[in-house]
Amino acid sequence: MNSRSVKRSDRRLALSSVLAAIGAGLLASACCLGPLAAVLLGIGGAWASSFSALEPYRPLFAVVALGALGLAWYREVQRSRKPRCNCQTEPRPKTRRLMLGLGTVLVLGFLLAPSLIERTHPVAIAQQSQGQTVRQVVLTIKGMTCTACSRTISLALRRLDGVKSADVTFRPPRARVRYDTTKISVAAIVDAVRAIGYDASPQTGVLP
């Protein structure tokens, strides 16, 4: 195998490593990003619940992502130590490193997505509401896999017309929702949770 073929093989390996790392990172965060994307886009359905099936494999996907990323950077460091030539087929070092840098940012962003969601979408604090039409319901939530899921559900509930506040916790898996009975019903609140891939059922009924 001549040097040109070796270089092409190295480039393909580097690109494949970066793409594999990005793909694995995306899969590692799909259980959190999938339902959140459904909320932000205003869509839902049974397909959203399929993302939770990926949660047990998050550690594996994270290891694959970091391993592939590490391999790509290792190859880049090894390449930089070799004597340079004036071959036109060799990509510029800045281009390669820019590709690796962007890939690294994407992978780390995917892996840190649950923590970022938790920090950027804090749980709403219950508000004091006046009037006899405001009630509170406590829902038992099933299907949450991390604290980011509770933030996603909280965001979805707070977007509903008639919901005054939504306090969702991962442990225990519960949602405490204050709502206006003239604008929304408990059934509609439950349906909104199910629409993004989780299950919900009233725990204590409607409270004053």
pLDDT at position 7, please? 61
Q: Using CA atoms, how far apart are residues 153 and 42, in angstroms rounded to an integer?
A: 13
Q: For residue 94, with 0-12 CB atoms within 10 Å meaning exposed, 13-18 middle and 19 or more buried, which class applies?
A: exposed
User: Contact, 68 vs 104, CB < 8 A?
Assistant: no
User: Is pLDDT above 90 for 127?
Assistant: no
pLDDT at position 126, please? 42
What tens digit of pLDDT does each residue of 62-113 get? 999 999 888 888 888 877 776 555 555 455 567 778 888 888 998 888 888 7
What is the third-level CATH fold of 121-207? Alpha-Beta Plaits (3.30.70)
User: Contact, 144 vs 117, CB < 8 A?
Assistant: no
What tens digit of pLDDT does each residue of 134-191 get? 899 999 999 888 888 888 898 889 989 999 999 999 889 999 999 999 999 999 999 9
pLDDT at position 138, please? 93
Q: Which residue has the higher pLDDT, 47 or 167?
A: 167
| Residue spans per domain, the chain | 3-119, 121-207
User: Contact, 130 vs 100, CB < 8 A?
Assistant: no
pLDDT at position 168, please? 92
C-beta neighbour count of 161 within 10 angstroms: 9
Q: Using CA atoms, how far apart are residues 195 and 47, in angstroms rounded to an integer?
A: 9
Helices (H), the chain: 3-41, 58-81, 93-111, 113-120, 147-158, 186-195
Amino acid code (one letter) for 35: P
User: Is pLDDT above 80 for 114?
Assistant: no
User: Is pLDDT above 70 for 129?
Assistant: no
Q: Rounded to the nearest 5°, which phi and psi values hold at 178?
A: -105, 130
What tens digit of pLDDT does each residue of 183-197 get? 999 999 999 998 888
